[in-house]
Structure 1
């Protein structure tokens, strides 16, 4: 959320910026600056602090949910490796709630969390990679794991924003299907007469996080939550195809178990 948008949604907002040893302060009322940017003394660190009061004329309720904020901050910490976020609720002193989030393994930790497990950075059950690609003017991070369930759980994000489909998710599914089918055919785990395993069958039991960070994201749909950047699909497809294919080749026993489960799951469905 930009400062301008946050200001428009607030009855009052104070922005404090610490930079180059100086602390700067500016006040806003309903999105309009009511004071100039003013030097307010020395600063020992750097960063920005925003203090705001939600506008009761806009919101039906102005009470913050600690649980909702914690969920979103946890998500942001997963999606931004090594970012540390602290949240403290001091509304009912002397008691207070406080949580801190930091996930050095990024999307890998996110997949473990979604599966209700704790993963170590070297957990061999989770496949993960990152890649920058100038063709899509951005980077992609992917983590995935198959588990013993019929549920598929694939979550997509663009610039740390949850998405409801789009080119990054389609590229991910294309790449997974290509890597799995190529490996299964090479190892003769599929008969010559068997059709390729499609994305729906391969997705059974799959948990995955697909996160892209783009210089200029394009969002579509009624809620502006569908990523539309055309170049992203092919770039994510290629990245997933290569990295998952390398993992399958390097872990033949695990790969055979994954393919076997997919094939038998496909037969059940």
Structure 2
């Protein structure tokens, strides 16, 4: 090919902005145009609702898969107005800006942010990638509504009647021109909502499926014990209830600019089941929080074994390999400045987190061993006697 045929200059550059960019390249904003991207669209709307709910400490988010293919997300948080705040107001952007402006409501990414999906770019992706979207705000005794079609507002927000309570409802119909399928998986959504409810104990979240004719189904998730409930659910031996031997604690550590919530239990199967989460996202490759957890458990078990004069107590390497057998644990950290190794956020890299988690686990597990000597003897004895 001649050089003349390969010319490329500024005239060949296409600049895409705002909702046009989202509609032109949806995969960049929700991951794909298949089922995975469709679920990310739902997660983006649910994330916004969950963040608003937890900003007040606790509350409900109700998600409904409607019979006509739409999705409705309702929350009971104090609703923001459609309009932008007045000059000098320190509040966030108005709902209209969140619906129409890319990054207008981008979450700060700190420990207080709830990440239901992977991308979490906010409500704007639902506005852009839905054939129709209706936003309703309930505040100050009034209901106000605004409608959109493929990212374009059909009219300004309008009062439509009185309201009791506060909150907002976003109903949207994913665009068939964008997505290969617009049918959400009830099972996939339910599993993720269940997981989020475990990690954020103040959140109550429900999922209703109205699509099966005459067979609507509903699941509701609320776990007051947080990750202790999570471990109980993961551990078949606990029968779905928090076993007395589930060890759990929460701790804030300014050295890592965040908090940790950890629960663990020995029992069930021989396989190790340690799950790590950062700001609500699963870290499937682990990271410094999971490494710190293992360091802390190893140190506590080793110290207890030495105190009991067990013969293999000095064989630390072998002991560390055996500690995970039969161990179920959830290690959830919420950080202001999470740092990931790699682009998919599957491996946490904050070096200070490892030492902070290790220290906390060592302290709390040693204390539990001292308070429960018979259980400690059974757990530690089983670990040191198990063949390597």
Q: TM-score range by the shorter chain?
A: 0.7 to 0.9
Q: Which residue of 2 aligns with 1:105?
A: 225
Instruction: Note closer, same or farther for the CA distance 1:88–1:148 as it changes in structure 2 (3 Å cut).
Output: closer
For residue 76 of structure 1, what is the aligned residue in structure 2? 196
Name the CA distance, whole Å, in 2 between partners of 1:26 and 1:230. Answer: 47
TM-score w.r.t. the length of structure 2 is 0.62
Alpha-carbon shift at residue 4 of structure 1 (Å): 2.5
Give the counterpart of 2:385 among 249, 264, 268. 264
Mapping 1:138-153, distance limit 5 Å: 138-153=258-273
Number of residues of Structure 1 aligned to a counterpart in Structure 2: 265
Could you tell me which residue of structure 2 aligns to residue 52 of structure 1?
172
> Normalising by structure 1, what TM-score?
0.87
Partner of 2:255: 135
Query: Contact 1:79–1:107 at 8 Å: present in 2 too?
Result: yes
**Superposition deviation, residue 140 in structure 1:** 0.8
Residue in structure 2 matching 1:119, options 241, 254, 271: 241
Cα distance change on mapping 1:232 and 1:99 into 2, 3 Å? same
Counterpart contact for 2:319–2:384, Cα < 8 Å = no
* 228-237 vs 17-26, which moves further: 17-26
Q: Does 1:4 align with 2:124?
A: yes
What stretches of structure 1 of length at least 5 have no aligned partner? none
Aligned residue runs from structure 1 range 147-226, under 5 A: 147-164=267-284, 165-191=286-312, 194-226=315-347
Shift of 1:35: 4.6
Find runs of 4+ consecutive structure 1 residues off by over 6 angstroms.
Answer: none
2-structure distance, mates of 1:245, 1:93? 55
CA deviations 1:4-51 (Å, max 9, x no partner) are: 233344333323233344434343444565554555444322223221
- C-alpha displacement of 1:85: 1.4
Larger radius of gyration: 2
CA-atom RMSD, angstroms?
2.3
Note if contact 2:247-2:265 (Cα within 8 Å) is conserved in structure 1: yes
Cα separation, 1, equivalents of 2:147 and 2:164? 22
Counterpart contact for 1:78–1:110, Cα < 8 Å: yes
- Matches of 2:254 and 2:146, distance apart in 1: 38
What do residues 36-80 of structure 1 show as CA deviations (whole Å, max 9, x unaligned)?
455544432222322122233443221111111111111111111
Separation in structure 1 between the aligned mates of residue 157 and residue 299 of structure 2, nearest angstrom: 55
Q: Secondary structure at the match of 1:84?
A: strand
